[in-house]
């Protein structure tokens, strides 16, 4: 039995938090069992000192207030400590490599920006931030990497994000940790952290039929997106632009939500906008034509490719805009 | 000294007054209904435990020792559903609660005796439906029924099981209403709110949760059944629904429900600790109000089951803070029990041993709850065996210990017979030891990353799993033992006096077992609860108390 490795800075920080919680727990347990034993030894029947009810009632207030406020103070400190570490998970750094992970009963499909794909294995370079974009084709799964102390549920038809920077070369297990049917315990795989050179070699040796963005461009034309949406920096004609919003510079910009609120265009926004425009975008009213729904037409892997392509149309913004943590977007 | 239960008292008692089967099945006597309930939940407890035994046996081997993946999934689903809805939720309220509420109030029965009987029939029908579904076809969703797995991706028998759980909810609500109204209306003359035994405060808080939370579960299950049968998009995004909506609704009931499961146990422990220390509960009002505040704040923390589910950052932060807040009243109770022991005259009979076991194991459960209420550590530990260990410490270590404490404590009152004390203590010690051996290794497994609900697992986890399974066999023994000696004591146990423990509650003022009408003469209350001085008189003036706590 080997002890669980901590393969990122964050993992180490979580371990320190767990250590703190453990120390406090041991202290409280020591107190509770200690007092229990002491009381039993001193006050076993026979060695009895009668106590009147009135004096107890008078005295109890002081004790009650003392232990309630100490408990509250300790709890509040723990809450703040743990919350600060958690917030980091919502803030992927700029320049993270975006890797798409799709769960289905009962396997994990992984797509890299260069077009490489694999199943139940995830290769990442040492020391570079990686952002996983997680979605499911059927039920809820959960992508969990204990060595990094992170996990997140994987919901059907919606993107969730998980990011990390691995600081230890090696192979670490990942698991599905949300019960997803009878094959649940077979839905595991290996995270392989390579040095940057090894990683580059691995990418080079792994066959890929064109990069994700190239495939996305083909899909953009094939599915008729290009019929309405402009994708060239130099607009071919005023007519076209008025049919639908331009894709150029869209990624990472602000747009209007269905209720007129400002929302950021990120992966999750694009994903949902392609599937059912009206629920995430408030642009429809500005255009005469309606965008058809692509639900059931495009698979999750196609969506990933399309998003990768749309990202290339905003080169200046292409970093670190994975997920927004804004409540209005998360809720839909 | 009150009279022992001589054969004459026995014959006048609720147990023997009319012995026909018909009189039992149509009884409206709360004491008899309590026994009907006791027989039913014992049967479900045995059923759920058999499931647990098979699960632990299976997990001895990393590849799974005896079951297929499918059977394994059905087994833990069965275990969870039976244990939660057919044992833990009803357990103390419908058995000890049903028996004791009128006695503690000094009343002849509950406010609505017939509703009480109906609630038992509803419960039995619910149990039958659930068991039918689980054994004719089975279900593999876990007790949490997460969508869309449960609505669109299972071949299992969703409908009967969900209908059964739905029905059991009505039984809970009926019991809750009955208790609330009884406590408001039927208190004996002189029995003011602050003179109520703490058991009644706890049952009152529990009843409020029954009445307010259960309807949400019912509605959720109806929506689930709708989507499953008619493919109306409520929860499944493929049909235009929202999968997180189900989790919000489910935990809005199920978090308060964990307090349904633990509050009555806390009530029992307050009674037992006070009696076996022969001393009033320290900080009576704090303990009483802590039950109420647990029930209230307990409604505001459901989101801590969803820290990695995809809710917003703000929601997670707020729910984390509230989760810490809700554990403060629980901590207050633990400190007050310890304060009660200080300066008492402590006897270590079996009920007290179980109660002390409760305090220890509940504390471990509560402290590990802090690991899960803390956001960053929850991310690592949630969905692993750490969570499994956490809630078993609270519900099996805590709640079931409290139930056993209460059974031993009130056994003489219920049956008129004493249980064999030595065996009682042995079983209590065995329970504590077996329990820790079963569940402590699971904390380590969880930290190491072993996911829950896995039919197979990496070989590195085997040692801890085998330890856990070994503990489970000791635990099984600790449950079988009381079953045997309780049955033995029904026929052979020494006759009990009216008040064998020198306790103060009204229930000890009538014979053991009580007559059908509970009290030959309606009692009048002139003292606070736990006034041992009045009980022990002719007491000389009490001496000064010890210098410090
Ligand atoms: C008082 C009695 C308690 C009971 C009966 C109880 C019961 C439970 C149960 C049944 C679960 C597991 C749900 C599941 O995943 O299926 C759970 C999880 C949890 N409990 Fe408790 N608990 C109690 C006390 C506490 C306390 C005092 C805290 C916090 C300070 C706490 C915090 C949590 C958290 C945060 C989770 C979610 C774990 C997760 O799934 O990530 N619990 N509890
Ligand atoms: Cu799974
Ligand atoms: Cu909860």
Q: Which residues of A touch B148 (CB under 8 A)?
A: 138-140, 156
The closest alpha carbon to B385, from B328, B458, B479, B475, belongs to B458
pLDDT at A320: 42
Q: What confidence category does residue A230 fall into, taking pLDDT thresholds of 50, 70 and 90?
A: confident
Residues contacting residue B240 through CB under 8 Å, at least 6 positions apart = B233
Restricting to A residues 239-268, those with a Cβ less than 8 Å away from any Cβ of B are: none
What residue spans define the domains of chain A? 11-39+61-88, 97-205, 212-325
Residue B9 has pLDDT above 80, yes or no: no
Q: What percent of chain B has pLDDT over 70?
A: 96
Confidence of residue A319 (pLDDT cuts 50, 70, 90): very low
Name the more confident of B16 and A120. Answer: A120
Secondary structure of residue A156 in the 3-state scheme:
strand
User: Mean pLDDT across the stretch B244-248?
Assistant: 93
Distance CA A13, CA B185 (A): 56
Q: For residue A166, list its beta bridge partners.
A: A8
Q: What is the mean pLDDT of chain B?
A: 91
Residues from chain B that touch A108, judged by Cβ atoms under 8 A, are none
Answer for the pair B358, B398: CB distance below 8 angstroms, yes or no. Answer: yes
Question: Is the distance from CB of B209 to CB of B295 less than 8 angstroms?
Answer: yes
The more confident residue out of B130 and B543 is B130
CB-based burial label for B98 (10 Å; 0-12, 13-18, 19+): buried
pLDDT of residue A51: 53
Of B262, B304, B385, the one to substitute when testing ligand 1's pocket (max ligand atoms within 8 A of C-beta) is B304
Q: Ligand 3 is a single-atom ion; what residues have CB below 5 A from it?
A: B 255
Interface touch A29/B457, C-beta < 8 Å: no
Sheet holding A129-136, edge to edge: A117-119, A107-111, A97-104, A129-136, A160-165
Query: Domain B24-536: which CATH class?
Result: mainly alpha
Which span out of A156-160, B219-223, B532-536, B539-543 was modeled with the highest average pLDDT? B219-223
Does B2 score more than 50 pLDDT? no
pLDDT at position B11, please?
67
pLDDT tens track for A259-308: 777 888 888 888 888 887 767 777 766 676 777 778 778 888 888 888 88
Residue B19: what pLDDT?
80
* Residue B261 Cβ contacting ligand 1 at under 6 Å: yes
How many whole angstroms separate alpha carbon B502 and alpha carbon B535? Answer: 8
| A141 CB within 8 Å of a chain B CB | no
pLDDT (mean) for B165-173: 95
Asked if B346 lies within 8 A of A89 by C-beta distance, the reply is no
Q: How confident is the model at residue A256 (pLDDT cuts 50, 70, 90)?
A: confident
Query: Which of the two residues, A319 and B443, has the higher pLDDT score?
Result: B443
Complex ipTM > 0.95: no
- In whole angstroms, give the CA distance from residue B467 to residue B473: 10
**The predicted structure's pLDDT at residue B391:** 94
d(CA B16, CA B98): 19
How far, in Å, CA of B455 to CA of B465, rounded? 12
In degrees rounded to 5, what are phi and psi of residue B341?
-65, -35
What pLDDT score does A57 carry?
54
Contact A167, A147 (CB under 8 A): no
Specify the pLDDT at position A327.
34
Q: What is the mean pLDDT of residues B353-381?
A: 95
Q: Could you give the CA distance from residue B428 to residue B419 in angstroms, rounded to a whole number?
A: 13
The predicted structure's pLDDT at residue A260: 75
Q: Sheet harboring A121-125: ordered strands across?
A: A121-125, A188-194, A170-176, A141-145, A150-154
Are the beta carbons of B376 and A173 separated by less than 8 Å? no
Instruction: Note the ligand closest to the C-alpha atom of B400.
Output: 1
Q: What is the mean pLDDT of residues B13-20?
A: 83
Confidence class for position A15, pLDDT limits 50, 70, 90 = very high
Q: Over B162-211, what HEC string results? A: HHHHHHHHHHHHHHHHHHHHHHHHCCCCCCCHHHCCHHHHHHHHHHHHHH
Residue with tokens 């394994």, as numbered in its chain: B72
Average pLDDT over residues A218-241: 69
Ligand 3 centre to CA of B253 (Å) is 10
Task: Please tell me the distance from the alpha carbon of residue B118 to that of residue B359, in angstroms, as a whole number.
Answer: 35
What percent of chain A stands above pLDDT 90? 42
Is B455 in contact with A184 (Cβ distance < 8 A)?
Answer: yes
Listed range (A92-106, A272-286, A294-308, B278-292) with the worst mean pLDDT: A272-286
Long-range contacts from A53-61, C-beta under 8 angstroms, 24+ separation: A53/B280, A53/B528, A53/B530, A53/B531, A53/B533, A55/B544, A55/B545, A56/B279, A56/B280, A56/B282, A56/B545, A57/B284, A59/B545, A59/B549, A60/B282, A60/B283, A60/B286, A60/B339
Q: Using the predicted structure, report yes or no on whether residue A48 has a pLDDT greater than 60.
A: no
Q: Is the pLDDT of residue B7 over 80?
A: no
Q: How close, in Å, is residue A148 to chain B by CA atoms? A: 8
| Element spanning A194, H or E | strand A188-194
Domain borders along chain B are 24-536
Q: Span B473-490, mean pLDDT?
A: 94
Q: What is the DSSP letter of A153?
A: E
* pLDDT tens, residue by residue, A151-210: 999 998 888 999 999 999 999 999 999 999 999 999 999 999 999 999 999 998 887 777
Distance A331 CA to ligand 3 centre (A): 21
For A97-205, the fitting CATH number among 2.60.40.420, 3.40.190.10, 3.10.150.10, 3.40.50.300 is 2.60.40.420
Is residue B372 within 6 Å of ligand 1 at its C-beta?
yes
Q: What share of chain A is helix, strand, coil (3-state, %, to 5)?
A: 45, 20, 35
**What's chain A's average pLDDT?**
82
DSSP summary character for residue B524 = -
For domain A212-325, the CATH superfamily is Cytochrome c-like domain (1.10.760.10)
Closest residue in B to A272 (Cα) is B237
Establish if A58 touches chain B: CB-CB under 8 angstroms.
Answer: no
Cα separation, B10 vs A332, in Å, equals 65
- What pLDDT score was predicted for residue A248? 81
DSSP letters spanning A249-286: TTTTSEEE-TTS-EEE--HHHHHHHHH-HHHH-S-GGG
pTM: 0.88
What band does B351 get if pLDDT is binned at 50, 70 and 90? very high
**SS3 (DSSP) at A170:** strand
User: pLDDT band at A226, cuts 50/70/90?
Assistant: confident
Contact A57 B284 (CB under 8 A): yes
């Amino acid at each position: 039995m080997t002890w669980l490795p901590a393969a990122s800075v964050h993992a180490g920080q979580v371990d320190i938090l767990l250590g703190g919680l453990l120390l406090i727990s041991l202290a409280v347990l020591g107190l509770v069992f200690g007092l229990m034993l002491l009381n039993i030894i001193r006050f076993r029947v026979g060695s009895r000192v009668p106590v009147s009810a009135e004096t107890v009632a008078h005295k109890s207030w002081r004790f009650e207030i003392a232990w309630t406020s100490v408990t509250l103070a300790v709890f509040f400190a723990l809450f703040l400590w743990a919350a600060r570490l958690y917030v980091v998970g919502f803030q992927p750094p700029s320049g993270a490599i975006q890797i798409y992970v799709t769960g289905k009963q009962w396997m994990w499909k992984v797509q890299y920006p260069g077009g490489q794909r694999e199943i139940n294995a995830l290769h990442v370079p040492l020391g570079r931030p990686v952002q996983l974009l997680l979605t499911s084709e059927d039920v809820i799964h959960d992508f969990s990497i204990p060595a990094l102390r992170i996990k997140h549920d994987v919901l059907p038809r919606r993107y969730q994000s998980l990011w990390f920077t691995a600081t230890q070369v090696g192979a670490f297990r990942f698991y599905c940790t949300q019960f997803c049917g009878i094959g649940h315990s077979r839905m595991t795989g290996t995270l392989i952290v390579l040095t940057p050179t090894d990683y580059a070699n691995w990418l080079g040796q792994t066959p890929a039929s064109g990069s994700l963005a190239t495939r996305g461009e083909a899909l953009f034309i094939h599915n008729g997106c290009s019929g309405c949406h402009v994708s060239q920096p130099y607009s071919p004609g005023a007519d076209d632009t008025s049919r639908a919003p331009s894709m150029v510079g869209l990624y990472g910009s602000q747009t209007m939500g269905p209720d007129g609120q400002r929302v950021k265009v990120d992966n999750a926004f694009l994903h949902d906008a392609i599937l059912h425009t009206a629920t995430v975008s408030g642009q429809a009213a500005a255009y005469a034509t309606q965008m058809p729904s692509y639900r059931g037409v495009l698979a999750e892997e196609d969506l990933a490719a399309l998003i990768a392509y749309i990202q290339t149309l905003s080169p200046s913004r292409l970093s670190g805009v994975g997920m927004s943590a804004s409540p209005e977007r998360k809720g839909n | 000294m009150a009279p022992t239960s001589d054969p004459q008292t026995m014959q006048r008692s609720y147990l023997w007054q009319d012995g026909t089967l018909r009189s039992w099945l149509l009884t409206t006597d709360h004491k008899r209904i309590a026994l009907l309930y006791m027989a039913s939940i014992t049967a479900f407890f045995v059923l759920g435990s058999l499931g647990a035994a098979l699960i632990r046996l299976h997990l001895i081997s990393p590849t799974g020792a005896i079951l297929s993946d499918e059977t394994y999934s059905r087994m833990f689903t069965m275990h969870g559903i039976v244990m939660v809805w057919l044992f833990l939720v009803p357990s103390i309220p419908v058995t000890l609660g049903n028996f004791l509420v009128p006695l503690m109030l000094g009343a002849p029965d509950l406010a609505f005796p017939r509703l009480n009987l109906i609630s038992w029939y509803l419960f039995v029908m619910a149990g039958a439906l659930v068991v039918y579904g689980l054994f004719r076809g089975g279900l593999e969703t876990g007790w949490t029924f997460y969508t869309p797995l449960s609505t669109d991706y299972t071949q299992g028998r969703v409908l009967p099981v969900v209908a059964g759980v739905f029905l059991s909810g009505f039984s809970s609500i009926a019991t809750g209403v009955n208790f609330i109204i009884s406590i408001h209306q039927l208190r004996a003359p002189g029995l003011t709110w602050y003179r109520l035994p703490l058991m009644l405060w706890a049952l009152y808080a529990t009843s409020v949760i029954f009445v307010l939370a259960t309807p949400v579960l019912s509605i959720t299950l109806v929506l689930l059944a709708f989507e499953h049968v008619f493919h109306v998009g409520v929860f499944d995004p493929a049909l235009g629904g929202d999968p997180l909506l189900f989790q919000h609704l489910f935990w809005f009931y199920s978090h308060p429900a964990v307090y349904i499961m633990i509050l009555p146990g806390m009530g029992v422990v307050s009674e037992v600790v006070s009696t076996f220390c022969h001393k009033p509960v320290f900080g009576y009002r704090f303990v009483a109000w802590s039950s109420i505040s647990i029930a209230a704040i307990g409604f505001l923390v459901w989101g801590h089951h969803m820290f990695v589910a995809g809710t917003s950052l703000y929601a997670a932060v707020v729910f984390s803070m509230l989760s810490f807040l809700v554990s403060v009243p629980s901590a207050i109770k633990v400190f007050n029990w310890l304060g009660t022991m200080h300066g008492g005259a402590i006897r270590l009979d079996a009920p007290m041993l179980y109660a002390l076991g409760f305090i220890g194991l509940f504390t471990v459960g509560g402290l590990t709850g802090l690991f899960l209420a803390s956001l960053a550590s929850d991310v690592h530990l949630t969905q692993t065996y750490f969570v499994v260990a956490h809630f078993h410490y609270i519900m099996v270590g805590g709640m079931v210990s409290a139930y056993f404490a209460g059974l031993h404590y009130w056994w003489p009152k219920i049956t008129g017979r004493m249980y064999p004390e030595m065996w009682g203590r042995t079983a209590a010690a065995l329970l504590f030891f077996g329990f820790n051996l079963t569940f402590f290794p699971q904390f380590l497994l969880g930290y190491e990353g072993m996911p829950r609900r896995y039919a197979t697992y990496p070989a590195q986890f085997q040692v801890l799993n085998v330890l856990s399974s070994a503990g489970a066999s000791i635990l099984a023994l600790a449950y079988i033992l009381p079953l045997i000696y309780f049955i033995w004591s029904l026929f052979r146990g020494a006759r009990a006096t009216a008040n064998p423990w020198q306790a103060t509650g009204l229930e000890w003022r009538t014979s053991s077992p009580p007559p059908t009408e509970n009290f030959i003469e309606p009692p009048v209350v002139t003292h606070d609860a736990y006034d041992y001085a009045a009980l022990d008189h002719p007491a000389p003036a009490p001496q000064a108390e010890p210098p410090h706590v």
